[in-house]
Chain A
C-alpha cells in the first residue's frame, strides 16, 4: 500500500529545497538527480532522509535508501514506506 503520492511528493520536494537551500524551488522535480544539486553527497543525503522521515512520520527502508536515482524514486520509496506505516 502507498500513501497519497502527491502529498508525499510535496513533502520530499520541500525537504530537498530546505536541505540544500535551493534558491529556485521550481527547479526541483521528479527527474532531479543528486548530480543536479550542489552539495548532495552521501552525508547530506542522510540529512535529507531525516527531513523526509520526520515529515512522513516513518523510517525509510535501509536497503533502498541509497538506491534511488532521482527525486521521483525517492518519492516512490517514501510513499510506500508511509503507506506501510499508516494505521
Chain B
C-alpha cells in the first residue's frame, strides 16, 4: 500500500478502499441515528460528482452546497471534490429568515463569486432559480445525484496538492462575505499540526453539533474526521440549541473523545441541562473552547455543574483558531487546566499587562495555549514594529498552512496578507510562550461563535426609512438571559416615524441579512448619539451611555 493520499478526493477513495465498512459518521436527527460508512460516503459522493459533471461543472470551478442538516451535506460536498471542483458550504436559510431578502442577498453574492453550480433542496431551489438562471449557475438537487447512485470511479479527478480545494465563507452581508481559499496541501499540513497538538489517533471520536459552514464544525470536526479516518457523531445544530443535553447523550453513547465548542455553548449547557441528569463524560480527552473570547468563569461554572458526570478542569482546553489558518493557531496542553493569568485591570485598559494577585481590580484572562507546530506568532504595535514587552498588540501569524487569499478579493487579501504574515485583527500578548487574546483592532463583535462587524449592522439600519442617516450605532452588550454576548443598536429617528414599528423593522432587517437576533434596539433623542471629534459615530462612548445594564441582575436568578 502506498503513502496516504494528501488530497481530499484521494483520502475519500483511500478510506473507502482500506476501511470501507468502518463508520465515518453517525448522523443524529430527531431521535434517529444513521450510520455512514467510508464506502457509503465514497459511493454517494460519486453520484453527486457525476450529476455535477453532467451539469457542466469542470475542475477548478466552484460548487456551493446549501442544504439542511442531513447526510447529503457530506455527500454533496465530497461529490463536488470528486468532480475536481472547489467546494464550499453556505448556511441554509433559517425558517424565520425573509426568503426574498435571502435570495436578493445571495444573488449579489453569487454574481461576485460565480459558482458553476449550487447544490440545494427543492424549496431553496424554487426560491433561487430565477436569480441563478440569470447568472448561468446550475442548480443540482439530491434527486439528480440519486440517479447516478451507481456511478463508478470513471472520470474521478486527482487534483494537485497545491490546487484550491475549498472556500470557507465568513459570516456577514454579501458585501463583506469573504471566501477563504485553502489548498489541499494547507488542509493536510494543518491536520498534521492539529493532530500533533491534540494527540489525535484513529481511535478518537469527535462529537459535534456545529454547523458545517463554520470553521470549527467544518475543519476541526468534518475535515478532521475525513482526513484521519476517525468517527464523527454529528447532531443537528437547531436541535442542539433547543435540547443541549443531546450532545452529552451522544458523547456517552459513542464514548466520544474530542468536542469543540464556542464559549457560549459551555454556558448554554451549564444553564439549560436539567440538574438531575448525569452522564459518563470521562471518555472526553478534551473539550476545546474556541471561536469566541474564552472566559475563566464559564469554565469554572461548566466544571462545577458537570463534576458528577466526570468533567474535570483538565478536560477543559482552549484554542485560538481562524479560517485563514485553515483553523487552529494555538492549543492549550492536554492533561492540565488552561492557565489563568490575573492582570491589573486599569493597566489592561491601557493595553499594558501587569500580572497581579486576586485584587478587586484584577482581570482574569484565559490562556489560548501554545502555537501549533509550524505556527509563528508575532505581536505588533500599530506602527508594525514588534510590540514592547508587556504591551498588547495585534496578533500576526505565519504558518505552512496559511490561506491562499480571499476568493476574487485581491485588495482585501493584500490588506491583511503581507510578506507571508497574516494580520489577524485580533489583539493579544504572549506570556511564557502562551498566547492571550484580549480584543479586536476593529469593530468586530463575536456572537455565538460568529463574527459580525458593527459598521455593517449600522449600514443595514441606516438604509431604513425613518432612521436619521448616519445616526445608528451598534455595539456589544451582555445578554444576561442567555449569559452570552449580544448586540444592541441605538439610533435616532425622524419625528414622524413610528417607534415601535421601526424597532421591529430594525430587528427584522438585521436578522434577514445576517441571521443575527439583536439583543435590543434603543431609540434615543435627536442629537443624543456621541460623535468623535472627526465626526464619526463614537461606538465606545455610545456603548457606555446606552448599553443595557442587565448585569445588575445576578445571572443565577434568571435560571
Interface residues of A (CB under 8 A from B): 19-21, 33-36, 38-47, 49-50, 62-63, 65-67, 69
Contacts and interface: CB of A to CB of B under 8 A. Distances in A.
A39 B504 contact: no
B486 interface: yes
A44 B520 CA distance: 13
Given A21-B553, A34-B517, A62-B243, A39 B479 contact: yes
A46 B242 contact: yes
B532 interface: no
B460 interface: no
Contacts of B244: 46
Contacts of B239: 62
B125 interface: no
A70 B151 CA distance: 47
A43 B484 contact: yes
Instruction: Report which residue of A33, A42, A43, A63 has the largest number of chain B beta carbons within 10 angstroms of its beta carbon.
Output: A43
Nearest to A65: B242
14 contacts: A36-B503, A38-B519, A38-B548, A41-B517, A41-B519, A42-B448, A43-B264, A43-B448, A46-B242, A46-B244, A46-B268, A47-B271, A47-B559, A66-B96
Given A38-B519, A42-B448, 14 more contacts: A35-B503, A38-B520, A38-B548, A39-B479, A39-B482, A39-B550, A41-B517, A43-B482, A45-B241, A46-B244, A47-B272, A47-B482, A62-B243, A66-B238
Given A19-B481, A47-B272, A50-B272, A39 B519 contact: yes
Nearest to A43: B482
A62 B479 contact: no
B76 to A, nearest CB: 23
A65 B484 CA distance: 21
A45 B484 CA distance: 13
B243 A21 contact: no
Contacts of B264: 43
Instruction: Report which residue of A35, A36, A39, A50 has the largest number of chain B beta carbons within 10 angstroms of its beta carbon.
Output: A39
B558 interface: yes
Q: Is the interface of A mostly helix, strand, loop or mixed?
A: helix
Interface in B363-396: none
A39 to B, nearest CB: 5
B96 A44 contact: no
A56 to B, nearest CB: 15
A32 to B, nearest CB: 11
A70 to B, nearest CB: 11
A40 B264 CA distance: 15
Contacts of A19: 481, 558
Interface string B241-265: 1111000000000000000000010
A48 B238 CA distance: 16
Q: Sorted from nearest, which 9 A-B pairs have the closest CB atoms? A: A41-B517, A43-B482, A38-B520, A44-B481, A35-B507, A44-B482, A39-B481, A65-B242, A35-B504
A21 to B, nearest CB: 7
Contact of A62 (B242, B482, B511, B517): B242
A81 to B, nearest CB: 13
B456 interface: no
B95 interface: yes
Contacts of A39: 479-482, 486, 519-520, 550
Nearest to B246: A62
A42 B517 contact: yes
Contacts of B520: 38-39
Contacts of A47: 271-272, 481-482, 558-559
Instruction: Report which residue of B96, B268, B448, B520 has the largest number of chain A beta carbons within 10 angstroms of its beta carbon.
Output: B96
Nearest to A48: B481
Nearest to A34: B517
Nearest to A54: B274
A38 B479 CA distance: 9
A45 B486 CA distance: 14
Contacts of A63: 30
Contacts of A36: 500, 503-504
A33 to B, nearest CB: 7
